[in-house]
Amino acid sequence: MAHDIRIVTETELRGAVRLDLTAVNVIERAFAALASGRVVMPPILSMELAEANGEVDVKTAYIPGFDGFAIKVSPGFFDNPKLGLPSLNGLMILFSAKTGLVQAVFLDNGYLTDIRTAAAGAVAARHLAPEVVETAGVIGTGVQARLQMQAAHLVRPFKRVLVHGRDAEKAAACAGDLARSLGIPAEVAPDAAGMVAQSQLVVTTTPAREPVLMADWLHPGLHVTAMGSDQIGKTEIEPEALVRADAYVCDRVSQCEVSGELEAALAAGLWTRGTPAELGEVIAGKRSGRQAPEDITIADLTGTGAQDTAIASHVMQTIGDMGTLIRA
């Protein structure tokens, strides 16, 4: 029995779906649902294509109360820049959670992942950062460096932003973009330690395999979100920092154990505090996050299928009659 399927391109999606509080609230709802125990979120399907220096991940989740569920396919082919192509691509498919019928195909080339990833940073900041953030800092100078600061600014309207990156030119470009988009002073911080010292909120957005933020840099009243590590072997935060923090919070413990900051801390035998809290549990009030302004908090975001289902559902409600209808 044929039905209409909506095909929406990246250009159309960029015109219709923005990183705003509505998107943040949808992602927050997905995290809260994760804490309910009723979300079904299978392990990520991951395939390596070594001959092409490529990999592909598939994520999904069913969230009760959402009409649909998304399946997201994220290829990463790291020789693409040599061909003038971006490394990351992919699409999301939205299915009816009642019938399994395909509702929409979002040919987003990773745009919706960018949005839902940044929105998770805002959710972490909303529930873990100190109430007052004067200065925010970001380590990394890519798309997520920009989006994470924009997202955090939605929930903690800081007055100044600092950018640290290994490449001074890219850091300057990122700072310039942030100054324009946020309308606040943005500066390059050549020294990461000094930047963290001046900030109440820091987001790390790198693919680092060695820590870029050290335990000794932690100071009272600091919140750190580490969102770069999403694979085995990646790490951004010195493992010792996780136990020095008053609260270390995972997006999903089962993922952080294998691909987040927890991986290295467990391997080093440093983590001895039992099962860490999850962001959804903090939102739902089941576990404690920040308890005092001087607390040090760390959020570890590896990216969940629940976010994909949430953003795809949000898109479907947002786009109206956008896209091309295909009857199939």
As measured in angstroms, the least distance from the Cβ of 6 to a copy of itself is 11
Where does residue 178 fall: left (phi above 0), alpha (psi -120 to 50 degrees), or beta otherwise?
Answer: alpha
277-278 and 324-327 as β-strands: parallel, antiparallel, unpaired? unpaired
307 CB-contact burial (10 Å; exposed 0-12 / middle 13-18 / buried 19+): buried
φ/ψ of 171, rounded to 5, equals -65, -40
Specify the residue, 12 or 240, whose C-beta has the smaller distance to a copy of itself: 12
As measured in angstroms, the least distance from the Cβ of 85 to a copy of itself is 6
Specify the residue, 22 or 53, whose C-beta has the smaller distance to a copy of itself: 53
As measured in angstroms, the least distance from the Cβ of 10 to a copy of itself is 5
Specify the residue, 96 or 291, whose C-beta has the smaller distance to a copy of itself: 96
* DSSP secondary structure letters along 264-284: HHHHTT---SSSPEEHHHHHT
Specify the residue, 292 or 328, whose C-beta has the smaller distance to a copy of itself: 328
As measured in angstroms, the least distance from the Cβ of 37 to a copy of itself is 13
As measured in angstroms, the least distance from the Cβ of 313 to a copy of itself is 15
Q: Which of 112, 109, 135, 105 is nearest to 196 (CA)?
A: 135
Q: Which residues bind a copy of itself (CB under 8 A)?
A: 1-2, 5, 7, 9-11, 40-52, 54, 56, 58, 60-62, 64, 69, 71, 73, 75-77, 80, 83-86, 89-91, 93, 95, 97-102, 105, 107, 109, 324, 326-328
Specify the residue, 89 or 148, whose C-beta has the smaller distance to a copy of itself: 89
As measured in angstroms, the least distance from the Cβ of 305 to a copy of itself is 9
- In the chain, the DSSP E strands lie at 4-9, 45-49, 54-61, 68-77, 91-96, 102-107, 135-139, 160-164, 186-188, 201-204, 223-226, 247-250, 277-278, 297-300, 324-327
131 vs 291: CA distance, rounded Å: 11
Could you give the strand order of the β-sheet that contains 324-327, starting from the edge strand earlier in sequence? 45-49, 54-61, 68-77, 91-96, 102-107, 4-9, 324-327
Amino acid 121 reads G
For 58-81, letters b (16+ CB in 10 Å) and e give: bbbbbbeebebbbbbebbbbeebe
Specify the residue, 81 or 190, whose C-beta has the smaller distance to a copy of itself: 81
As measured in angstroms, the least distance from the Cβ of 70 to a copy of itself is 11
As measured in angstroms, the least distance from the Cβ of 131 to a copy of itself is 38
Specify the residue, 269 or 327, whose C-beta has the smaller distance to a copy of itself: 327
Give the single-character DSSP code of 80.
G
12 vs 16: CA distance, rounded Å: 6
